[in-house]
Amino acid sequence: MSNQNERHRQKHIQKFFEERAQGLDYKKQRKRASKLRRAEQKKSRSGRRKVRRDDWEGLIEGDAPAFEERQRPSGSTDEWFARLERDAAAGDAGESTGAELADGLVVFVTAGACRVEHGGERVDCALSDDLRRRQRSALAVGDRVRFDAAARRVGEVLPRATRLSRPDPHRPSVERVLAANVDLALVVASLREPALSVGLVERVVLAVRRGGATPLVCASKLDLARDPARELAPLAPLRATGVEAVACSARTGEGLAELRARVAGRTCVLVGHSGVGKSSLLNALAPELALAVGRVRAADGKGRHTTTASALFALADGTRVIDTPGIREFGLWRVTPAELREAFPDLAEHADRCRYRDCTHDHEPDCGVRAAVADGTLSAARHRSYLRILATLER
Ligand SMILES: Nc1nc2c(ncn2[C@@H]2O[C@H](COP(=O)(O)OP(=O)(O)OP(=O)(O)O)[C@@H](O)[C@H]2O)c(=O)[nH]1
Ligand SMILES: [Mg+2]
Ligand SMILES: [Zn+2]
């Protein structure tokens, strides 16, 4: 690649980062994505590697609609081999400076590139072709990487201590990692506006534990609750199974001291529906960030997907918090029915009365769990939650 082209590309990437950090809206993102794609395609006509649609799908995070599914590329065997050779020729080796690789922390990811923090500095890096292809699963905010600071190129992603994953909403066979190496996941659900969604909280909590992190449920917008005890009640069964919860309000500051104490010194991620107040909570913890927050729609009380990309922020005391775009639904990545049963220990308590050892507590005769629901010793809502999740697992 000529120097001029490279400079041009870096400028594009830079601009992209800046705009996304400012929370550019989805339509603009798409427009920009297709512009970038055309630019790359032009380049590919002049002999560079072909651009894959995958490279650009990574641009859209959260649950905004994706580009239509990619078709298998057409071409003859000769063309495919020619492409292989071109890819190899355009590979990493030629562009590396051969310098020692440094360790860095990924604080922002976009298509084909990411921002890496290292020694207090932030470096925008391109990804190797291999990483670029597997980007959604292979690279996430919070990842530790080895990178070439001079060539601004990421070589390797280090093994993760924890991960928060879900199936890609647009392509369920692909794992999408929302955040890597977090200790604590703040599962944010507002008591009102939008209404509390216990089902989503249960699913995210399950995914957080499956990925090795600790969940902490944040019941937000406490100031809107008219009867806090009653409005928090739907979270009680989850709490009874050992999941901790704090109720707080970014508006009045209630509960924030407790939240601050719990996140102090740790690496955390904020997850939840759009509009529940994730960015507002982060702003309340660190006003200097001045993150964009959006109003919820009056018509349906839903958020407007204000945060469009995940990003990691370091607070003054060394705490790290990853803000993420609102999720609409949360699929479970490779959770087995047995793991699901473990996540509902309050149901399992009644399972020794089931006729079958592998009873799913769904349709089987003589089910102790269903009997417990019938005689009122187990909450019907918990059983329903369990069945709803069970129905969505791959079996
Ligand atoms: N009453 C009240 N409103 C709040 C509170 N926290 C946030 N809000 C409002 O809720 C709306 C959404 O807040 P955001 O912080 O943008 O929500 P978010 O979860 O980051 O949303 P996305 O970025 O779209 O995922 C804004 O209008 C906030 O002012 C709170 O504690 N109380
Ligand atoms: Mg936000
Ligand atoms: Zn049963």
Rounded CA gap, 277 and 282, in Å? 9
- Domain 337-392: what homologous superfamily? Probable gtpase engc; domain 3 (1.10.40.50)
Q: For residue range 94-114, list pLDDT tens digits in order.
A: 345 566 889 999 999 988 889
Burial of 228 (0-12, 13-18, 19+ CB in 10 A): middle
**pLDDT score recorded for residue 70:** 33
Rounded CA gap, 245 and 259, in Å? 10
222 CA closest ligand 1 atom index? 31
- Confidence band, pLDDT 50/70/90 cuts, at residue 83: low
In DSSP notation, 116-136 reads: EEETTEEEEEEEPHHHHHTHH
**DSSP strand pairing (311-314 vs 320-323):** antiparallel
Identify the residues whose C-beta falls under 6 Å from ligand 1.
220-221, 223-224, 249-251, 274-280, 293-296, 303-307, 325-326
**pLDDT score recorded for residue 299:** 78
Ion ligand 3: residues, CB < 5 A: 354, 359, 361, 367, 369
**DSSP strand pairing (144-148 vs 153-157):** antiparallel
165-323 CATH: 3.40.50.300
Which carries the bigger pLDDT value, residue 112 or residue 178? Answer: 178
**pLDDT score recorded for residue 86:** 56
Q: Is the separation of the CB atoms in 246 and 259 below 8 Å?
A: yes
Which carries the bigger pLDDT value, residue 57 or residue 245? Answer: 245
Equal fold, 3-157 vs 165-323: no
Q: Is the pLDDT of residue 268 over 90?
A: yes
Q: For residue range 360-383, list pLDDT tens digits in order.
A: 999 999 999 999 999 999 999 999
User: Which whole number is the average pLDDT over 44-72?
Assistant: 42
Q: Is the pLDDT of residue 62 over 70?
A: no
**Assigned token pair, 362:** 């769904």
Question: Rounded to the nearest whole angstrom, what is the distance from the C-alpha of residue 22 to the centroid of ligand 2?
Answer: 11
Rounded CA gap, 46 and 49, in Å? 9
326 CA closest ligand 1 atom index? 25
What percent of the chain is helix, strand and coil (3-state, nearest 5)?
Answer: 40, 20, 40
Question: Rounded to the nearest whole angstrom, what is the distance from the C-alpha of residue 173 to the centroid of ligand 3?
Answer: 30
Query: Could you identify the residue written with the tokens 């089931």?
Result: 354
CATH architecture of the region 3-157? Beta Barrel (2.40)
Q: For residue range 190-231, list pLDDT tens digits in order.
A: 999 999 999 999 999 999 999 999 999 999 999 999 999 999
For the chain, which residues make up each domain, given as ranges? 3-157, 165-323, 337-392
- Confidence band, pLDDT 50/70/90 cuts, at residue 132: confident
User: Which whole number is the average pLDDT over 36-56?
Assistant: 52
Q: Is the separation of the CB atoms in 322 and 270 below 8 Å?
A: yes
Question: Rounded to the nearest whole angstrom, what is the distance from the C-alpha of residue 278 to the centroid of ligand 1?
Answer: 7
Pick the residue whose CA is nearest to atom 6 on ligand 1.
Answer: 277
**pLDDT score recorded for residue 315:** 93
224 CA closest ligand 1 atom index? 1
Question: Rounded to the nearest whole angstrom, what is the distance from the C-alpha of residue 270 to the centroid of ligand 1?
Answer: 13
Q: pTM of the predicted model, to two decimals?
A: 0.78
Please tell me the least confidently modeled range out of 46-60, 151-165, 349-363.
Answer: 46-60
Pick the residue whose CA is nearest to atom 2 on ligand 1.
Answer: 221
**pLDDT score recorded for residue 378:** 93
User: Which whole number is the average pLDDT over 59-85?
Assistant: 48
Pick the residue whose CA is nearest to atom 13 on ligand 1.
Answer: 277
DSSP code at position 210: H
Q: Which of 221, 278, 293, 307 to mutate to test the pocket of ligand 1 (most atoms within 8 A of CB)?
A: 293
Pick the residue whose CA is nearest to atom 12 on ligand 1.
Answer: 275
Percentage of residues in the chain with pLDDT exceeding 70? 75
Q: Is the separation of the CB atoms in 218 and 246 below 8 Å?
A: yes
